[in-house]
Amino acid sequence: MTSLSTLFGGGQSSSSADPLQEGYPVIAMYGGSFNQYFDIRLHRVHSGELVGSPWGGMTNSTANYWTGQQSLIEFGYDSDRGRLDSSYSSQNYNDHQHYVMSMMQNDHYPYSFYGNCSKDGRMGMHSFHGGDYYSKYYRRINIVMKSGRRPRRQFNIHNAIFTETQFNSSYGLKSSYDLSSSGNAGFGGTGPGSTNNYGSGCYNQKTKTLVLYYATSSGASDGYFYIYRGTKDLMDETECPTVKDFFDSVPTKIYQAINNGSNWGYNDINYNLNLVLGENDFVGVNSRRSNDNVYSCFDLTTTTTNTSQVSTYQSQRSEGQTTSYGPEQGMMHRARMQLSWDTEWAMMFSPYYYYGCGTTAFIVSTKDPRRMVHHQWNENNYGGILTPSGKSGFKILYGSNTDSNPIQNWGIELGGTSHDPTQNFTYHSGNQRYNDSLQSISNWTGTVQNSMSNYSFQYPGYYYSTSYPKFMTVNWWQQEGAYSQ
Lowest mean pLDDT among 2-16, 175-189, 221-235, 365-379: 2-16
DSSP 126: -
Q: Which class for 249: exposed (0-12), middle (13-18), buried (19 or more C-beta within 10 A)?
A: middle
149 touches 20 (CB < 8 A):
yes
Model pLDDT for residues 425-475, shown as the tens digit of each residue: 999 988 888 888 899 999 999 999 998 887 766 777 665 567 888 899 999
> 281: how many CB neighbours lie within 10 A of its CB?
21
Model pLDDT for residues 351-401, shown as the tens digit of each residue: 998 878 899 999 999 999 999 999 999 998 888 999 999 999 999 999 888
Using the Cα atoms of residue 376, residue 378, residue 384 and residue 390 in order, give the sign of their dihedral.
negative
Model pLDDT for residues 114-133, shown as the tens digit of each residue: 888 899 888 877 777 777 76
Model pLDDT for residues 37-80, shown as the tens digit of each residue: 667 889 999 988 888 776 655 544 444 445 444 545 555 555 55
Share of the chain above pLDDT 70, in %: 78
251 band by pLDDT with thresholds 50, 70 and 90: very high
**Going by C-beta distance under 8 Å and a sequence separation of 6 or more, which residues neighbour residue 280?**
301, 367, 368
292 touches 320 (CB < 8 A):
yes
306 touches 189 (CB < 8 A):
no
**Going by C-beta distance under 8 Å and a sequence separation of 6 or more, which residues neighbour residue 84?**
30, 31, 32, 33, 34, 38, 462, 464, 467, 468, 469, 470
Query: Average model confidence (pLDDT) for the chain?
Result: 83
Decide if pLDDT at 296 tops 50: yes
pTM of the model: 0.92
Give me the phi and psi of 267, to 5 degrees please: -60, -35
Secondary structure tally for the chain: helices H, strands E: 3, 28
